[in-house]
Every structure is written in C-alpha cells, then in structure tokens.
Amino acid sequence: MSDNNTIDTLNTLIETCKDGEYGFRSCAEHCKSGDLKAIFLSRSQDCQRAARELQAIVSRLGGAPETDSSVSGTMHRGWVSVVGTLTGYSDQQMLDECERGEDAALERYRTALQQPLPSDILSVVQAQYEGVKRNHDQIRSLRNQHRAANT
C-alpha cells in the first residue's frame, strides 16, 4: 500500500476517533447519571489519545493529519441535539446514541484492517480496534442494563 493510501486510511480513522471524542463528551454533558458521565468522559479521552497516536503516524509518513470529525459524525451529533432539545435528554437516549456511534467506529476500523497496511501501523490499528470493541461492548451492556432496570 502506498503512503498516500495509508495516510487516507489513517485520516479516516482519525475522523472516527474525533467523532467518538466529541460524541462521548456531548453525551457526558447531557446525561443525568454521574457514573455514566464519568464513563463517557473516559471514553472521550480514549478517543482523543487514539486520534493523537494516528496523527503522529500520518505526520511521520509525511502527510497532513486530519484534525476534525467527519461530516456524518457532525450531522449525527446535530440530530441528537435536536431530538434531545425536543424530547428531553435521557440516559437511555445517550447510551443508544453512543452505541450507534461505536457501531460506525467498528465498521470503519474493520474496513481499515482489510487494507494492506505496513505491519507496524497494522499493529496500532488492530490495538485501537480492540479498544473500540471493548468500548462498544461496555456501552451495549450498560444500555441493556439501563433498559432492563427501566422496564
């Protein structure tokens, strides 16, 4: 894979990380549970660290690292804000939206892992994918627990 293709792949993942960073932070601002707020803020910081790690690799390859979230991520956060304003934010809604975001992140990482990345970069992407998967599974579990407790 050429450096340009690798850079494009990594920049897509940087956008994904930024989507997660901003999305989790937004959910932390709107949730009512202190425990969920702490989890969301921690996940936001994890996404920020992952983006920085990928940005350093893109710079090392001579590329211009992405610095912002994706258009679709920005639109999704806007939609969540509109719905939350109209219906009132709930912890269940925040968990549902976080899981949707993590579903999208998993798909983007799976796509990246199908690319012929250099082995050192592939190791970084694989490790980050495992982190996204853990985040997804934790959010899904919390969502299911919250749903069961409120039915």
Summarize the confidence of residues 125-146 as an average pLDDT: 95
Using pLDDT thresholds of 50, 70 and 90, give the confidence band for residue 94.
Answer: confident
Mean pLDDT for the chain overall: 87
Both structure tokens of 76? 């999704």
Give the torsion sign (CA, 33, 140, 38, 79). negative
**Domains within the chain, CATH numbers bracketed:** 3-149 (1.20.1260.10)
Dihedral over alpha carbons 4, 58, 136, 116 (to 10 degrees):
40
Using pLDDT thresholds of 50, 70 and 90, give the confidence band for residue 82.
Answer: very low
Residue 122 pLDDT: 98
- Of 69 and 104, the one with more pLDDT: 104
Using pLDDT thresholds of 50, 70 and 90, give the confidence band for residue 17.
Answer: very high
- Of 137 and 70, the one with more pLDDT: 137
Neighbours of 27 (CB within 10 A): 29
Rounded distance between C-alpha atoms, residue 75 and residue 88, angstroms: 19
Provide the whole-model pTM.
0.87
Residue 74 pLDDT: 52
Tracing tokens 């892992």 back to the chain, one arrives at 113
Alpha helices in the chain (DSSP H): 3-30, 34-60, 71-87, 91-113, 119-149
Using pLDDT thresholds of 50, 70 and 90, give the confidence band for residue 88.
Answer: low
Tracing tokens 């258009």 back to the chain, one arrives at 71
According to the per-residue pLDDT averaged within each range, which of 3-12, 24-33, 62-71 is highest? Answer: 3-12
Is residue 72 classed exposed, middle or buried when 0-12, 13-18 and 19+ CB atoms within 10 A define those classes? exposed
Rounded distance between C-alpha atoms, residue 20 and residue 58, angstroms: 19
